[in-house]
Amino acid sequence: MRTVKDSQFVVACQQFRTRVCENLDIIIFSQTPPIIESSKNLRFGCFKFGYFELQQQFQKAELNVWNNRWSEVYDFTKKETKNFSFLPEDVNPYDLVPQISSLSGGEFSDPSSEQVDLLVPITVGDRTKLFDQEILVILLPGYENAAEHIIPELNHQKDYELIRSRAISMTNDHIQQLPSNDQLIIKKLISTQEINVGKDVFIFMYFGGKELEGNLYHMLERVLTNKKCYHIWNNSKAVTDLSKFVFETWREGE
């Protein structure tokens, strides 16, 4: 996107980049970190939008709903002032881009409705936010359909939030980088299933909230009925260390 000013967008893409842009509001799904250059006053928000054919379009475009890196903005132009910020969490795409309503004919889903199940999970991302507790969950390959049922649960409650998520074809090299105890945990999980390491996709979910042992744990037990298909890290140091590997060291997709 080049030389665009004073505009609003709702977009889902593999890669997003701006050059010489100004005063843009963008609700975005981007599978790689958004890149801005020679641009200023850009505001980004997590993708929360839906319509009937969106899931099929994501599949055709090879976009994984768990890999939204909307907030990991990289600015090529280094200045004393920051050239981007984040939209308010409660921003509604219908308010941001009112023309959607007149064009949709009722096809698009209003994310403010309690009845709407969104395709992409809403994440906190790089917003500054403090939580009473944080946990990391790994979901084994083969349970992607079950994982889809987690998304409406996340979007319709306020006790916990999804900070980040990542779907990754974890390799043996990845596993070998981890602390020995975490290696043992993952290898034990893998041994219970028929998994093609290096090809099959694991889903990591990083949560924050309060009373997670009650609220979040119960939801996971209800949705993911097979307890052998996932593991939860709740030790704060383990969560911090492993999250750095998953969301920083392993930069798959760039």
Residue 209's domain is classified under what CATH number?
Answer: 3.30.70.141
pLDDT at 228: 85
Among residues 84, 113, 142, which one ends one of the domains? Answer: 113
**Do 148 and 238 belong together in one domain?**
yes
Among residues 113, 144, 172, which one ends one of the domains? Answer: 113
Domain span holding position 168: 129-254
**Do 143 and 244 belong together in one domain?**
yes
133 is a domain residue: yes
**Do 173 and 90 belong together in one domain?**
no
224 is a domain residue: yes
What tens digit of pLDDT does each residue of 132-146 get? 999 999 999 988 888
The residues, any chain, with a CB within 8 Å of residue 196's CB and separated by 6 or more, are: 141
**Do 133 and 108 belong together in one domain?**
no
**Do 18 and 109 belong together in one domain?**
yes
pTM: 0.90
**Do 77 and 145 belong together in one domain?**
no
Q: Which amino acid, 38?
A: S
**Do 102 and 137 belong together in one domain?**
no
Which H helix or E strand runs over 46? Answer: strand 40-46
pLDDT at 79: 74
Please give the Cα distance from 147 to 221 (Å, whole number). Answer: 12
pLDDT at 93: 86
SS3 label, residue 108: strand
Please give the Cα distance from 106 to 51 (Å, whole number). Answer: 9
| pLDDT < 50 positions in the chain | 104-106, 115, 253-254
| Token code pair at residue 6 | 């004073």
